[in-house]
Amino acid sequence: GKFVRRNALALGSASAVLLALLAGLAAATLGMLEAQRQFERAEARQQALEQVSGFQQRMLADIDARAMGTGIIEVMREQLADAPADGDAVDPALFEAIAARANPADLAREVIDRHMLERARETIEADFADQPLLQADLYDAVFRVYDGIGLHPPQIGVAQRMLELRRAGLAAGHIDVLQARRHLGDALFRNTDYEAARGALQSLLADLESRPRAAQDETSLELLLGTRDSLAQTLVELGEREAAIETARRNLEAAARYDVLDDEQYLGLHGSVGYVLARSGQLPEALEHFRRQAEGLRELLPEGDPDLAGPLSNLGAALAATGQLEEALDISREVLAIYERAYGRRHPSTLRVMVNIGNMLSHLDRVDEAIAMYEAHNAASREINGPDHPNTLRGMLNLASAMIRVGRPGDGLETVRDVAERRRETLGPEHLDTLTAQELHANALIDLDRHAEALPIIEPVHRLRLDMLGPDHPQTAAAAWWLGRARLGTGDAAGAIEPLRAAVDSNAERHGPEHSATITMAMHLFDALRRTGDEQAAETVRAEYLAALESADPETLDDERRRLREEWLGIRGE
C-alpha cells in the first residue's frame, strides 16, 4: 500500500501504458482473427472454384464430340420428321444433303466453344482480374477441356495467356510457369505448327534438364518426361526420324530410372516409342512396343476397360500392316466388343472398328463374312447418319468392293454407281471422295470386261488426281493403274504403257518389287509392251519383277503367289 501511495503517478502512467498495450494487442488480435477468417474464406472460395472448374473439366473432357454432333443432327432429323407438312417445311432431301456435308464432331465442338468456353474465357478475364494466378489456373482448366473435346485452335491463345499471367506473378523456374510452357508447346504441335512447337519444347526441355537433381521433385520429373515425349512426336512429324527415335528411346530409359510414373503412364511411353517407330517405317520394332503396352495394360485394367481400346487398336493396326491378319482380326474383334459394351453399336468408334474388321476379312478372302460386317455397319450408319452421310457412303463402297471380289460384280456395280452419284450431288464432281467412287465404278466395269464403258470414267479421275495430288501420290498411282487396264482392254496397248509404268514404279517404291500388287501391275505392263512389239522393254520388266516368280517352285509359294504365277504363265502363253 505504501509503495502504491508513494508511486501513484508512475503506476498510473504505467497502468495507462499497459492498458493501451492490452487494448492494442486486443485490437491486433481481433484484426489477425478477422484477417485469418478473410484468408480462410478466400482460400475456401478458391478451393470451391477449383473444385467447380475441375468438375466442369471432367464433365466436358468426357464428351464424345463426334457422338454429340451426330446426336444433334439426329435430333434435327427427328424434329423435321415430326414437323407438319406445309409450305414452310424443309425438304428432307435438302436436309440430308446438308447433313452429309456436316462434320458431326466439328459441329459439337463449335457449339461447346461458342456457348460455353468462349463465355468462360470472358468471365475469367472480367471477374478475376485482381487474382491473376487464379485466372491462370482457370485458364489451365479451360485448356484441358479444349484438349478433351479435341478442339485445338483456341488452345494456343489460352496457353499464351496462361503463360503470361504466371510469368508475371511467379519465378521463371516455378513449376506452374514450366507447365504453362509445356501447354504452349503441345498446343502448337496440335495445330501442326511443328517448327514453333519444336522450338518451344526444346527450350523447355533444356531448362528442365539443367535443373540440379536435388531440385527435381516428382512433379518436375514427370514434366520433363512428358516434354521429351512431346518433342519426340514433334520431330517425327518434321521428318527427323532418327532424332525422334533416339529421343523417344532415351525418354523410356529415363522413365525407368526416375521411377516417378505409375505403371499405366510408363506403358504409355512404350506406345509413344511404337508410334514414332511406326511413323518412321520400322513396323516390326513398333509392333514390339505396341504389344508391350497392350499386354501390360491387360494386367492392370479390368477386362473390357475402355482405356484398353486405343492401345489395342494400335496393336491391331501394326499386326495388319506386317501381314499378321489373323491376330489383327482377333484384336480388332476385342476392340469392337469393348466399344459395343461401353458405347453401343451405333457409336462412331464402334462403326469405325466394324469397317476395319470388314477390311481384314476381305484381305483374308473371307469375303462372305466381310460382306455381312459391311452390311451391319451400313445399316447402323444409315440409321444414325442418314443415307448420304460420308461414313454411310464409304461403307457402301467397301460393300461394293467385297461384292466384286466374291464374284458378284453386277451387285457391286449397282452399289458403287449409286455411291458415285450421291457423292457427286453432295460433294461435287471434283471432291476426292467422289473421284474414289468413280474409280471403283470403273474398277467394277473393268472386272466385267466392259472396258469401253470404264474408260470415259477413269480418264478424268486420273487427270484430276494428277492436277490436285501430283504424280507421286498413291491415289494418283491407283488411278493410273485402272486407266492402263481400261486402255489395254480396249486394245490401246501403246496408250496403256505410260500409266501402267507409273503405277508399277509407284507401288514398287512404296511396297517393294515383290509385293503382289507390284507383280500384278508388272504383268500387265509386260503384256502392253509386248503387244506394241517392244520386246526389249518387256524383257526388262520380266527380269526385274517376274523372273523370280516364274522360276519358283509352286510348292513353296502361298496361295496368292501361286495364283499370280499361274496368271503370269498364262500371259506368257506357257
Most confident listed range (10-14, 65-69, 198-202, 409-413): 198-202
User: Is residue 317 predicted with pLDDT exceeding 80?
Assistant: yes
pTM, rounded to two decimals: 0.64
pLDDT digits (tens, 9 = 90+) for 79-112: 776 766 665 666 666 666 666 556 666 676 777 7
Sole residue written with cell 456457348: 115
Residue with the larger pLDDT of the pair 137 and 19: 137
Burial class (CB in 10 A: 0-12, 13-18, 19+), 473: middle
Tell me the pLDDT tens digit for each residue of 123-182: 889 888 899 999 999 999 899 988 877 788 899 999 999 999 999 999 999 999 999 999
User: Is residue 526 within 8 Å of residue 571, measured between CB atoms?
Assistant: yes
Give the N- to C-terminal CA distance of the chain in Å, as an integer.
Answer: 141
Q: Rounded distance, CA 409 to CA 5, Å?
A: 126
| Distance from C-alpha of 558 to C-alpha of 552, rounded to nearest angstrom | 11
Q: What is the pLDDT of residues 325-370, one digit of tens each?
A: 999 999 999 999 998 888 787 777 888 899 889 989 988 888 889 9
pLDDT at 6 over 60: no
Query: What is the per-residue pLDDT for 211?
Result: 87
What is the DSSP secondary structure assignment for residue 91, as one 8-state letter?
P
Given this model, what pLDDT does residue 549 score? 79
pLDDT of 48 strictly over 70: no
Out of 32-41, 45-54, 202-211, least confident range: 32-41
Distance CA 106, CA 109 (A): 5
**pLDDT at residue 37, rounded to an integer:** 58
Phi, psi at 304, each rounded to 5°: 80, 10
CA–CA dist 521, 505 (Å, integer)? 9
User: What Å distances lie between residue 234 and 153, 220, 377, 381, CA to CA?
Assistant: 17, 21, 35, 35
Note the pLDDT tens digit of each residue in 422-463.
Answer: 888 877 888 888 888 899 889 889 988 999 999 999 999 999
Q: Quote the CA–CA distance of 309 and 343 in Å, as a whole number.
A: 12
Query: Can you give the pLDDT at residue 443?
Result: 85
Question: What DSSP character marks residue 514?
Answer: T
The DSSP secondary-structure symbol of 545 reads I
Over residues 177-204, the pLDDT tens digits come to: 999 999 999 999 999 899 999 999 999 9
Over range 496-509, report the average pLDDT.
Answer: 93
Q: Which three cell numbers stand for residue 390?
A: 460420308
Over residues 556-562, mean pLDDT: 75
How many C-beta neighbours within 10 Å does residue 142 have?
24
pLDDT score for 326: 93
Residue 539 CB burial class (10 angstroms; 0-12, 13-18, ≥19): middle
**Lowest-pLDDT range of 6-15, 403-412, 465-474:** 6-15
Q: Which three cell numbers stand for residue 523?
A: 504383268
In this prediction, residue 70 has a pLDDT band, given cuts at 50, 70 and 90, of: low
pLDDT for 539 beyond 70:
yes
State the DSSP string of 312-332. Answer: HHHHHHHHHHTT-HHHHHHHH
Query: Residue 83: what pLDDT?
Result: 67
Average pLDDT of the chain to the nearest whole number: 83
At 321 the pLDDT is: 83
* pLDDT for 51: 60
User: What is the chain's alpha carbon radius of gyration, rounded to the nearest angstrom?
Assistant: 33
Dihedral sign for Cα atoms in the order 14, 17, 23, 27: negative
Q: Where are the alpha helices (DSSP H) in 83-216?
A: 92-101, 104-112, 118-127, 132-149, 153-169, 175-190, 194-210
- The residue with greater pLDDT, 563 or 307, is 307
